[in-house]
Amino acid sequence: MRIGLDKLQPLGRALMLPIAVLPVAAMLLRLGQPDLLNLTFIAAAGEAIFSNLGILFAIGVAVGLARENHGAAGLAGAVAYFVAVEGAKALMAVPPEANGGFTDQAAVDLAVAAWKAKQMAKLSVPCGIAAGLVSGWLYNRYSNIRLPEYLAFFGGRRFVPIAAGVAGVLGAIIFGLGFPILAGGIDALSHWVVQAGGVGLFLYGLLNRLLIITGLHHILNNLAWFIVGDFHGTTGDLKRFFAGDPSAGQFMSGFFPVMMFGLPAACLAMYHSAPPERRTLVGGMLTSLALTSFLTGVTEPIEFTFMFLAPLLYLVHAVLTGVSMALMDALGVRLGFGFSAGLFDYVLNFRQSTRPLLLLPVGLAYAGIYYAAFRFCITRLNLLTPGREPAGETIAEKGTDDVKAGAFIQALGGSANLRSVDACTTRLRLNVGEAAIDEARLRRLGARGFVRPGPGLLQVVLGPVADQVASNIRAELARAPAVGPFAPDAEAILGALGGPSNVRGWHDKAGRLSVKVADRARVDLDALGKAVPHGAAFVDDRRLHLLVGDVPLLHLHFGEGLREGVTR
């Protein structure tokens, strides 16, 4: 089970990159409508994003999966997508009625082309995700490939889009010849979801919350929001809502009572459950969490405050989410969002919604249920929610971004313990060594929870600031301060770097040695961690920094030894 989750973790993270563009698309599309600003060019700008989600997923997923999120993977994703889509159109079997009854050949060709484009639009997101997955894998596997000298121009990263084009041909065969099967499968899934009714929506809401623990809820959401259902060629609950489908919104409406009312009420219960003398200390934090959920629909920082403290309470939260999905559907409420179920999306899409005012009584009822459930469980089970921890654990660390980034690095075991630093919407996603992690200090720095999906993998839940914190940590790693002198073992370091033939260059840089390697896969970071006491870390695809300390000693002991090893 754990191995399977490890393999799916990068996909869940990568899917968030293309999804991040949806808020601006939804905002532009709604603002341009006749009932708001009535500006057709603004609406067309938003529709352009929704109409090209396939290529956005191809590029975004590829970049999200690639080492260092390199743009060459995005180019490869676009190549694979275009080859697969256009090749599939040429291979599709066209039914006789697709010609529109025209007799003129030019008109027939136009009608057939329109039919093919409409049919492929139904599979654009699955095709884009597949193209992104393959291209990301190709980049990680072949971005450092060496070709014979007469083909050297096409080696390295240039090889990846070429390989992606070949993979796109295979995708064209699968999506072109297999179109009836793939389209039939999606139609069958859509019909099953519709027939499942409230039960299906309950299960969706339940699983959506439970999968947050692993970060895999994005995969489930993509299936519901971008694939299920069909409205004049537009698929997915989210896309159909903004295309004007009156039945769309089933997979979004039920989140509004929970995110706008339920979880903010849970924050209020945590505040009232804290000792009076500590409420001032945690009040600001809980207010911030509640407002984030109410306004934007970002809930993970709240959920991780009780997810592991009270698993039973979290299960109640998941069940209530499922009930809300079924209840809102039974009441005929249809709400939609471009980002999440917060006040901003509710107000923006109010006129496009169906029976939106019913959210208010349902939401108030949910606020009462959540408050009572949390207040009872926290006090009866003595849960250590914010403000109820042992003295000293609620004191937050302050400082500039650089200072806090350094504190994060120390709490995460030091720079040598960080193999890779990435982030999704609300979490740091880290690959770490064996050094101890200071969870107490991470909590003082703003962490709301921790997930360890597999060996060497750590996720730190921070909220919407996660991506900025990750950027600050990477920047701090790149300019790590000099540390004490040492006499390095050049032979051991050379071996850990993959041997002399793998070293392409080096230079001194403020107490560090910046080394460029030919093949990242040949570098043994564990061995480097032992040979270089102060650690080593990659700063881009093929360059890493060795923290060796004093510069003169670096010249005398390390630089010369490395130079001799490479010369040999």
CB 269 within 8 A of CB 374: yes
CB 237 within 8 A of CB 224: yes
CB 366 within 8 A of CB 261: yes
Report in angstroms the alpha-carbon separations of 83 from 58, 172, 484.
Answer: 12, 7, 54
267 in active site: no
- φ, ψ at 197 (rounded to 5°): 55, -135
CB 419 within 8 A of CB 455: no
Question: Is 459 in a helix, a strand, or coil?
Answer: strand
Q: Which residues pair with 547 in a beta bridge?
A: 512
Rounded Cα distance, 481 and 286, in Å: 35
Rounded Cα distance, 173 and 180, in Å: 12
Report in angstroms the alpha-carbon separations of 318 from 212, 360, 370.
Answer: 10, 21, 12
The H-assigned helical ranges of 178-234 are 179-210, 217-226
Question: Is 362 in a helix, a strand, or coil?
Answer: helix
Q: How many CB atoms lie within 10 A of CB 528?
A: 21
Rounded Cα distance, 239 and 196, in Å: 21
Rounded Cα distance, 146 and 153, in Å: 10
Sign, CA dihedral 442-444-447-452, equals positive
Instruction: Give the rounded distance of the alpha carbon of 198 from its chain centre.
Output: 29
Report in angstroms the alpha-carbon separations of 538 from 103, 263, 543.
Answer: 63, 40, 6
Question: Is 310 in a helix, a strand, or coil?
Answer: coil
| Longest pairwise C-alpha distance within the chain | 84
Q: Which of 127, 267, 377, 424 is catalytic?
A: 424
Residues in the chain, overall count? 568
Q: Which two tokens stand for residue 211?
A: 């999968």
Q: How many CB atoms lie within 10 A of CB 148?
A: 7
Tell the residue number behind the tokens 């929704």, with chain if given.
50
CB neighbour list of residue 471: distance below 8 Å, 6 or more residues apart: none
Q: Which residues are catalytic?
A: 424
